[in-house]
Structure formats: structure tokens, C-alpha cells
Structure 1
Amino acid sequence: MRVLALLALIAAPAAAQPVDTSPAAARRVIERYYAAIERGDFATAYRSWDGEGQASGKRFAQFRQGFATTAHSRVVTGTPVDGDAGMSQRWVDVPVEVYAVLKNGRRQHFRGRYTLHRVVEGTGAPASQTRWHIAKARLAAIR
């Protein structure tokens, strides 16, 4: 009898981990995005954008090529600001300072914000859509 109970526990599906939908989770998406870029994991960075990368406005090869001259990059994120909340949609803006060093040694500094988007849970959307994804970026070069 004990063996059957143990087998039932082993065979039981693992409880789904709740999705963190807090503004702090949106901030971490941006931090993980830049960490992926820094380690050359452009596929992960690309998938950080809504629509499995489509919201970046580029095909994957173009996206990856956009970082061809970048040696290093890092981001400093600010406090997320709640954006619009529409029907079953949530938006948040994450202010950023981005620092990059090109392969030729030139340094770059950008300031701006990323807007992140997610679908509200319980709407029938797949779990992947209830997580924060980058919807758009507005960055300007600082001299």
C-alpha cells in the first residue's frame, strides 16, 4: 500500500509555478535581456520581445546583427511606472540607462525606457502571454 501511495506522489503533476506579474518582474525582464545580450545569447534576448521577437521590428538575423560591433553592454534600471491597463492587458514602463562598449573601444550611453506588456491571467491566454515581454523601446544617445 505504501508503494502505491509513493508512486501516486511521484506520478502527480507538479504544481504550476505562479507567474510573477509585479512591476518588479518587468524590471527583471529588462535586466535578463541585457544579461543575455552580454553573454551573446541573442535568441533568449530576442524572445524577450512580444510575439517571440516580432515586437522588436526585426527578424532574428537582423536583431543579432545589430549587436555585431558591441563588445559589452550593461543596463541600470529604474523604478517601474505603471502604464495603461486596458481590457485584459497590462503595460508598465521601465526607465533605463544603457552603457555599451563597442569592439573598437568607443563607449556609448543611452537613456530612455522600455514598455513591457502582458495579458491578464484568467483570460484564456497561454501562460507565456501572461508574463512580461518587451513591447517597445525608446532610447536616446547621451553625449
Structure 2
Amino acid sequence: MIRSAPRLPRWLAGTLLLPLAACGGGASSEPEPERNAVAAAPTSTPVASPSPAPAKTGGRSEPVSILSCSADRGDAAARKLVKICTSVSPATHPPCNAVNSCAMIEDEIARSCALMGDDAAGTPGCEVDPKSDAAAADVVRRYYAAIDAHDYSTAWIQWGQDGRPGQRFADFQKGFSHTRATSVTIGRMAPSEGAAGSVYATVPVMVDAQLDNGRQQRFVGQYVVRRVNDVPGASADELRWHIDSATLKPAAG
């Protein structure tokens, strides 16, 4: 895993799952595996050399490495993703590397396509319009892909460059110490809406999680994803979709 410095830059490696406890207002609410035995939601903050997610082994947590893209999808698929990443990324940093999680590489591709703006049209890897609702849904997919790969830094930054508001990265990562695996299913989205210089998209989700004790959990709810609506002077990060809030609850039955 190779990333920026202490401030956890955007392309840092990591993942986040937040507790699904009572949701309120702007911050996302999701169950915290440790306390509520439930899967958590996203947050993201890059760090230079992020610490590995605690693995679940026989009742006690031990360090576990971030799942590399090669190990996750196979060498051929990872090489293809890296090739796209290096062709669009203007940076010389490490995200475009098969030893990183696929979520991190895909996040760098999305960031690079957003930086290109209208020039991204027709560019391999930039088929999804960075301003579209599909791109908003991809943020949530990347969030859970990062968590599943134990790449909590990449998950953390899906909340924005500074991660999830009101939470420290260390606490965000700790919330997943008993989560073995997660997956998300995206539901049908309503059209995004604008308000006060921003655009908001609501992403309905069903989240499945497995704890280290083998217990299966399912949550339903939604993520609200936001981006600045082409306001003059807005930074590239502000113009990108990021998670604004989350509301999840255990699925009935």
C-alpha cells in the first residue's frame, strides 16, 4: 500500500465501515460491528502506509494485510485496471499499482476523469460521466469494495478529503475490527437534486456483512452523496461526488 502523508491525501489506501446505530442528521449512521455486532458504513482518509485492518482469527484480532487487486480479481484484470489508471492519472504517486486494492485504483481513475472534465468524454476508463448519478452510486460501491479489501483509508476518503465528519480515522478503522467481509447492493435511484450550490443523490442500499464469528448481518437504508454544482472556484475534490450521510438499519426478518 502506498500513499501520501499524515493528512491522509485523497489517493491513500483504506476502507471504512461505520456503525449503523441510530442515524441522525448529516452524519451517517450505521451499526458498529464491535458494539452492535453489525456492519458499518464508509469514511475515508489517506495515510502514508496505512495500518492493516485487524483480521479475525479465532476470537482475537490480528493484523491483516489489505487485499491487493491482483489477489482480488486476478493478475490479468488487475493489469488491465492499472493500465487504465496510468493512462488517465496525471500523478506520479503509487495508486496505479496492482499491489493496492482495486478500490484504490478505481478511485484514482475516477479522480483523474473528474479532473479532465469535459475532455474525459471518450477516454478509456472515463465512460461514466463524473457528474452523473451513476458516478454517485459508484462512490458507495467503492466504499464497500474498499472495506471488503480492508483498505480503510480508501473507504475513509469516500466521505471526502478529510474523511467522515466528526470521527477520527483510527476510530473509523477500529469499528471494522470484527467485520470479515461486506457487500452492497444498490437499489433504483431517483434523479439527483440541486440545492444551495450542491447536487445531492440518494443511493438506496442493502448491505450484507459477515463478522469474524461467522454471524451474518443485513442492513437496509440509503446513502446521500453530494458534490458542488460547478461553483466558480470550487476545487476538484469539491466537484467530485462524496458521501454526505448514511442511514442504515437492520433488515427485517
Confirm whether residue 119 of structure 1 aligns to residue 232 of structure 2. Answer: no
Task: Give me the whole-angstrom Cα distance separating, in 2, the residues matched to 1:99 and 1:54.
Answer: 21
Task: Give me the whole-angstrom Cα distance separating, in 1, the residues matched to 2:204 and 2:152.
Answer: 22
Look up the match of 1:3.
none
Which is higher, the Rg of structure 1 or of structure 2?
1
Confirm whether residue 94 of structure 1 aligns to residue 203 of structure 2. Answer: yes
Q: CA RMSD in A?
A: 1.8
Look up the match of 2:116.
17
Amino acid in structure 1 at the alignment position of 2:152: F
Amino acid in structure 1 at the alignment position of 2:243: I
Secondary structure (helix, strand or coil) at the match of 1:52 reads coil
Listed as ranges, the gaps of 5+ residues in structure 2 are 1-89, 91-112, 118-128
Give 1:32 shift.
Answer: 0.6
Secondary structure (helix, strand or coil) at the match of 2:244 reads strand
Task: Give me the whole-angstrom Cα distance separating, in 2, the residues matched to 1:36 and 1:51.
Answer: 16
Matches within 5 A, 1:52-67: 52-55=162-165, 57-67=166-176
Task: Give me the whole-angstrom Cα distance separating, in 1, the residues matched to 2:246 and 2:140.
Answer: 11
Q: Which deviates more from structure 2 when the two are superposed, residues 98-107 or residues 85-94?
A: 85-94
Give 1:83 shift.
Answer: 4.7
Give 1:119 shift.
Answer: 0.3
Q: What TM-score does the superposition give when structure 2 sets the normalisation length?
A: 0.48
Amino acid in structure 1 at the alignment position of 2:233: G
User: What is the aligned-residue identity percentage?
Assistant: 39
Q: 1:24 to 1:123 in 2, by over 3 A?
A: same
Task: Give me the whole-angstrom Cα distance separating, in 2, the residues matched to 1:78 and 1:17.
Answer: 29
Task: Give me the whole-angstrom Cα distance separating, in 2, the residues matched to 1:79 and 1:52.
Answer: 29
Look up the match of 2:159.
49
Misfit runs of 4+, over 6 Å: none
Look up the match of 1:4.
none
Query: Deviation digits for residues 12-53 of structure 1, max 9, x if unmatched?
Result: xx7952261100100011001100000011001001003521
Q: What TM-score does the superposition give when structure 1 sets the normalisation length?
A: 0.83
Look up the match of 2:216.
107
Task: Check the 8 A contact 2:160/2:237 in 1, yes or no.
Answer: no
Task: Check the 8 A contact 2:193/2:201 in 1, yes or no.
Answer: yes
Q: Which deviates more from structure 2 when the two are superposed, residues 62-71 or residues 122-131?
A: 122-131
Task: Check the 8 A contact 2:133/2:192 in 1, yes or no.
Answer: no
Bigger helix share:
1
Flag the structure with more relative contact order, 1 or 2, with Cα contacts below 8 A and sequence separation at least 6: 2
